[in-house]
Amino acid sequence: MNYANGMESTLHAFLARVEATLEEALPSEGRTDGPSAVLDAAARHLAFPGGKRGRPLLTFHFGRLAGADEARLVQLAASAELVHTASLLHDDVVDDGTLRRGKPTANVVFGNVAAVLAGDLVLATALELLERHPPAVPALAVRTVAEMTRATIAEVRARGDAQLPLEAWHAIAVGKTGVLFALCGAGAALLVGDEAAAARWAEAGRHLGVLFQLADDLSDLTDGAGGKDRFADLKNRNPSHPMLAAFERSPSLQRAVRREWAKGTPDAATVARLGAEVLAAGGAEATLAAMRQAERSMRAALGADAARPGGLELVGFAEQLLARAEALASPTPEVPAAAAG
């Protein structure tokens, strides 16, 4: 994103305020024992250092479009970040995850018990941050949490399903990522009581969330060609967008993946061969096309706001995702000869 200097320092100050709010909301207070020390530690584990603070960033840009009060906007941004953190804590219990953001997950370090309860506490903390907001904001946050939960179970049940319809993939992407991006946008609009903008920005947020998930799925096919983690979705039996799109073009590939997944975790050679076939069947191009469509839909939802300060940065964020994906995926990367054989 391109910022004039003044703007950049404003964003920087905003994110620093979000960070301070997160610190205050999840206290450590130097406690090293006592009933809540483990819980606090588990809750903080994933929050500090966090990820890219993408949701606070989106909240900042939507808030600029809305002209929202900064103190409220900081709370909304911190709340969205904590809803995200809580969902990751429970996801890692659900998936039996071991590593996230380069360190052991909370369930590994503190156990499932602490991770479940830390997730509960972080979620309650997220909602507490919205206590003094217009009632429509916490109400939307609660609905968002319900939708995210439904999407998580849908994702768990989709594992190993090579016949997942693309529409079901889309619904999961909206629920896992889109609705929380939508909260960042609609929440900012509701802070200034603009329900029409809330509806449009929620839609923009959902499209941006889908774009984000498409980019994530695509990177599994294209990143670090030859690297160890390429094609992890095929290995882990996660039906990704490029796979499902490739299956529409090649029913025989779909049958092959179904057979392999029915047997359990495919070995490395099988994964490499199937991954090459997903690329050969045009999976990457189909996902790129879906990304372009999501970007257009997001612009359409933003309408005239796409050209205003805040909206420009949101569009810039989408363009950046798209440009990076296009650079990696097009032209189709060379398939290593060994893997293709």
* 3-11, 113-121, 205-213, 231-239 -> range binding a second copy (CB under 8 A): 113-121
Can you state the angle between helices 283-302 and 241-249, rounded to 10 degrees?
120
Q: State in angstroms the smallest separation of the CB of 82 from a second copy.
A: 12
> Quick one: which of 8, 24, 128, 229 contacts a second copy (CB under 8 A)?
128
By the rule CB under 8 A, 300 interacts with a second copy? no
> Quick one: which of 6, 135, 227, 331 contacts a second copy (CB under 8 A)?
135
> Quick one: which of 39, 65, 106, 318 contacts a second copy (CB under 8 A)?
39
Handedness of CA 287, 288, 294, 297 (dihedral sign): negative
* 31-39, 197-205, 253-261, 314-322 -> range binding a second copy (CB under 8 A): 31-39
By the rule CB under 8 A, 83 interacts with a second copy? no
Peptide bond into 309 cis (omega under 30): no
What mask, x for binding a second copy by CB under 8 A, covers residues 92 to 111? -xx-----------------
> Quick one: which of 22, 57, 80, 121 contacts a second copy (CB under 8 A)?
121
Q: Does residue 42 contact residue 110 with C-beta atoms inside 8 Å?
A: yes
Q: State in angstroms the smallest separation of the CB of 121 from a second copy.
A: 5
What are the backbone dihedrals phi and psi of residue 125, each rounded to the nearest 5 degrees, phi first?
A: -65, -40
Q: State in angstroms the smallest separation of the CB of 237 from a second copy.
A: 15
Q: Does residue 203 contact residue 189 with C-beta atoms inside 8 Å?
A: no
Per the structure block, which two tokens stand in for 108? 């590994």
Per the structure block, which two tokens stand in for 30? 């130097």
Distance from C-alpha of 48 to C-alpha of 76, rounded to nearest angstrom: 18
By the rule CB under 8 A, 162 interacts with a second copy? no
Q: State in angstroms the smallest separation of the CB of 142 from a second copy.
A: 4
Q: Does residue 209 contact residue 174 with C-beta atoms inside 8 Å?
A: yes
By the rule CB under 8 A, 280 interacts with a second copy? no
Q: State in angstroms the smallest separation of the CB of 307 from a second copy.
A: 35
* 45-53, 116-124, 217-225, 243-251 -> range binding a second copy (CB under 8 A): 116-124
By the rule CB under 8 A, 213 interacts with a second copy? no
> Quick one: which of 20, 153, 268, 289 contacts a second copy (CB under 8 A)?
153
Single-letter amino acid code for the residue at 36: S
Strand, helix or coil at 99?
Answer: strand
By the rule CB under 8 A, 143 interacts with a second copy? yes
Q: Residue 13: CB partners within 8 Å, gap ≥ 6?
A: none
Peptide bond into 251 cis (omega under 30): no
Q: How many positions of this chain bind a second copy (CB under 8 A)?
A: 37
Q: Does residue 334 contact residue 279 with C-beta atoms inside 8 Å?
A: no
Q: State in angstroms the smallest separation of the CB of 70 from a second copy.
A: 21
> Quick one: which of 21, 75, 105, 125 contacts a second copy (CB under 8 A)?
125
Per the structure block, which two tokens stand in for 98? 């071991």
Long-range contacts of 170-174, Cβ-Cβ distance < 8 Å, separation of 24 or more: 170/210, 173/209, 173/210, 173/213, 173/214, 173/241, 174/206, 174/209, 174/210
Distance from C-alpha of 321 to C-alpha of 318, rounded to nearest angstrom: 5
By the rule CB under 8 A, 120 interacts with a second copy? yes
Which residues of the chain form contacts with a second copy (CB under 8 A)? 35-36, 38-39, 90, 93-94, 112-114, 116-117, 119-121, 123-125, 127-128, 131, 135, 138-139, 142-143, 145-146, 149-150, 152-154, 156-158, 168
